[in-house]
Amino acid sequence: MILTVLADNRTVSFAFFDEGQEKATPLSTFCIAALPARTADEYAALLDMMAARGHFHGVNTVIIASVVPPLTSALCRAVHLLYGEIPTLTVGAGLRSGLTLRTDTPADLGADLVAMAVGAATLQKPPFLVLHCGDVTTLSAVDAGKDAPVYLGCAILPGAALCAKTLKEEAALLSTVALAKPPHAIGKNTGDSVRAGVLVGHAAAIDRLIADFEAEMGKKNLPVIATGEEAELVLPLLAHHTQKEEALAHKGLYHLALLNAKKGKKAP
């Protein structure tokens, strides 16, 4: 069994996969808060509890994608506390990705972006775009290459919920607004005005980025693979068609684990 771990500034999510699947489908996923004060012992205890609840035993490989270095070390220690010295891979320099990275500094590319691009490449032949809608929204461009998909780069912008939170914090007269699809672009009250500005405006920004990506890549009507916890809010407002995929980064991590296991890759 393969355990995949995805960590960002807000959450740590886990997924269990049976080895040998042609189509990567997690048996189960769960998510916990990424608290700065949480220790490796606590992460190990929580992981053990969740694994026991799902009767997930026999984990022999773990792969971690983290954009928070202190979390990476704590999670690696937690895995070793729970499972012993099994191969524990971390996405970063030295790990085969199956992608050609054409960014200025490939070593600085976020592990989550790599995982999502790999996951999308198992579902869609390049060229394509990968859209993640979360606290941070990212749009990545992946082109066809001679030997492997080519990761060209990405755009990063604040997510819809983060924009709404910033409005509340910086504008004294605006109250907290629950995000939902606004009835109109022209808001008739404060709540609908904020929803229209944040969500319709966010969707418009993404649509513009998609159009600019296509122009710069010299392509038209590129497939867009979308994922993320805010996707349900944003995708219905987009002019461009998207294909929504759950647990895209975890599916990519599963394939990265298989790729590096085949090559005899050991834990960094």
Stronger pLDDT, 215 or 20, i.e. the higher one: 215
Residue 236: asked if its preceding bond is cis (omega within 30°), the reply is no
Q: What pTM did the predictor assign?
A: 0.91
Q: What percent of the chain has pLDDT over 70?
A: 96
Dump pLDDT digits (tens) for 226-255. 999 999 999 999 999 999 999 999 999 999
pLDDT band at 262 (very low <50, low <70, confident <90, very high): low
Residue 266 has pLDDT above 60, yes or no: no
Nearest one of 19, 25, 225 to 125, comparing CA atoms: 225
Q: Yes or no: say if 40 and 81 are a contact pair by the CB < 8 Å rule.
A: yes
Catalytic positions = 112
In this predicted model, what pLDDT tens digit does every residue of 152-186 receive, in sequence order? 999 999 999 888 888 877 776 666 778 888 889 99
pLDDT value for 170: 76
Rounding to the nearest 10 degrees, give the CA dihedral for residues 98, 103, 107, 109. Answer: -80
**Residue 172: its pLDDT value, please?**
64
* Angle of CA points 227, 47, 26, to nearest 5°: 40
User: Three-state SS for 10?
Assistant: coil
Angle subtended at Cα 243 by Cα 105 and Cα 224, rounded to the nearest 5 degrees: 35
Assigned token pair, 218? 């010299």
Provide the percentage of residues in the chain whose pLDDT is more than 90: 69
CA angle 221, 195, 241 (to 5 degrees): 15
27-39 confidence digits (pLDDT tens): 899 999 998 889 9
